[in-house]
Structure 1
Amino acid sequence: MKLFHSLDLKLKSCLIALFGSAFLAFGLYHVHSFSGVTEGGVLGMTLLLDHWFHISPSVSGFIMNLACYAMGWKLLGRQFIAYSILSSASFSLSYRICEQFPPLWPQLADMPLAASLLGAVFVGVGAGLCVRIGGAPGGDDALAMSLSHVTHIKIQWIYLLSDFAVLVLSLSYIPLNRMVYSILTVLLSGQIIGFVQTAGTHPVENMET
């Protein structure tokens, strides 16, 4: 409890971070991992580097996520890191639990449009809840929050620009007909994240009181 008070963490916000990251993990496992719909951001960049330069995602992902969180710590403070650690831990544990069970909707592998729409909801709501209380379940979210803080550009547009840039580069090895669904996913998920973050008069304050 002393740690909670020293970092000014709120129990309600911690519970929201736990739920949001678990919701995100559930969607990524049951939708994205079986549908063939790829991602932008850090995940998409790790796949790109692995394809062209044979750099393991375990290495590139660790370095890029660490850099994004370090930026967030510098710009957004200790409370950001505390909520982000909680969100990341919940995401990893939840994803690990999901892996113990078969996918709920294996038919999504043959339904890319439905997968892209459903996947956007899981990513948008899950990540959006974490961002709303000031935490980041992944490096992408930490980067978007940091850039939005510095530039004062709405976070959904930061997500869109960063994800779109990676997806365009990914066209160098992914067919366009598959990439269309990924673009749709990042377009929708970014907008949902922005909506969830800003819904209400005082987004963060309302969640923490």
Structure 2
Amino acid sequence: MSRKFKLDLNLKSCLLALLGSAILAFGLYNVHSISNVTEGGVLGLTLLLHHWFGVSPSASGAVLNILCYLLGLRTLGTTFLAYSVLSGGGFSLFYAIFEQFDPIWPQMADQPLLAAFVGAAFVGVGAGLSVRAGGAPSGDDALAMSLSRLLRQPIERIYLISDLVVLAMSASYIPLPRLAYSLLTVILSGQLIGLIQRMGRKNPVKTTC
């Protein structure tokens, strides 16, 4: 059996993926969902399609995420997909649990700058831990991991480029001040994900000019 289709999971990575999913879900529920700080990537693109073409985010999000995971499967193999199912499933489970309680920081709704920093910390650490474990809790992460491998570029650079493209298109209907907060949070979270992914590793991804 080729390496690409070999399933090789370990308990430590599984627990790390679940921990990352829990942190990510906590941050998205307690910060992003009440602060109106939008996202780039797949989520931002689904909102854009809904605004201009009336396409439901539930439909466009499903299609885009499936395409991203298929690319990840082809590029990174079945072990990636297994960790991604664990990460994505863990995220949904933890988010459903957090929804049973009121947001911890409701004042974030009136403090978008603070929300941008705090939200970036939770997204960066949460997604970073899942990515380090080898899984992608969302289609954005699957796309970034795949392109990082294919293009041999740091993952934070891939996140930044994809988010900038979507945020630039979103400027067609979202006020610029709100996009500024979103830009801040995606830049910070992408840098954190890259830092956590490489932490303690001897062979970081080499870049090309």
The CA RMSD over aligned residues, in Å, is 1.2
What count of residue pairs does the alignment treat as equivalent? Answer: 199
Moved over 4 A (4+): none
Instruction: Identify the residue that residue 137 of structure 2 maps to in structure 1.
Output: 137
2:49 corresponding residue in structure 1: 49
1:82-121 → structure 2 map (5 Å cutoff): 82-121=82-121
Determine if contact 1:123/1:189 at 8 Å carries over to the other structure. Answer: yes
What percentage of aligned pairs have identical amino acids? Answer: 63
Structure 2, gaps ≥5 residues long:
1-5, 205-209
Structure 1 residue 203: deviation in Å?
A: 7.8
* Residues in 1 aligned to 2:132 and 2:178: alpha-carbon distance in whole angstroms: 31
For 2:180 and 2:79, the matched residues in 1 are separated by: 37
Alignment of 1:35-46 (within 5 A): 35-46=35-46
2:33 maps to 1:59: no
* Counterpart residue type for residue 192 of structure 1: L
Provide TM-score, normalisation by structure 2.
Answer: 0.93
Deviation string 1:51-76 (CA, Å, 9 cap, x unpaired) is 00000000000000000000000010
Residue ranges of structure 1 left out of the alignment (5+ in a row): 1-5, 205-209
Deviation at 1:201, TM superposition (A): 2.6
TM superposition shift of 1:133 = 1.5
Q: Match for 2:104: what amino acid?
A: L
Contact between 1:120 and 1:189, CA under 8 Å: does it hold in 2? Answer: yes
Q: Deviations over 1:38-93 (max 9, x none)?
A: 00000000000000000000000000000000000001001000000000000000
Structure-1 separation of matches of 2:144 and 2:203: 16
| TM-fit CA distance, 1:124 | 0.3
TM-score in terms of structure 1 length: 0.93
CA gap 1:203/1:17 in 2 versus in 1, 3 angstroms: farther
Q: Deviations over 1:138-170 (max 9, x none)?
A: 000000000000000100000000011101100
For the 8 Å contact 1:37–1:112, the answer to whether it is kept is: yes
Match of 1:174 in 2: 174
Aligned mates of 1:37, 1:15 — CA distance in 2? 29
1:190 equivalenced with 2:190 (yes/no): yes
Task: Give, in angstroms, the shift of residue 202 of structure 1.
Answer: 4.0
- 1: distance between equivalents of 2:48 and 2:148? 25
Q: How far apart are the structure 1 equivalents of 2:92 and 2:154?
A: 28
Trace 1:3-14 onto structure 2 (pairs within 5 A): 7-14=7-14
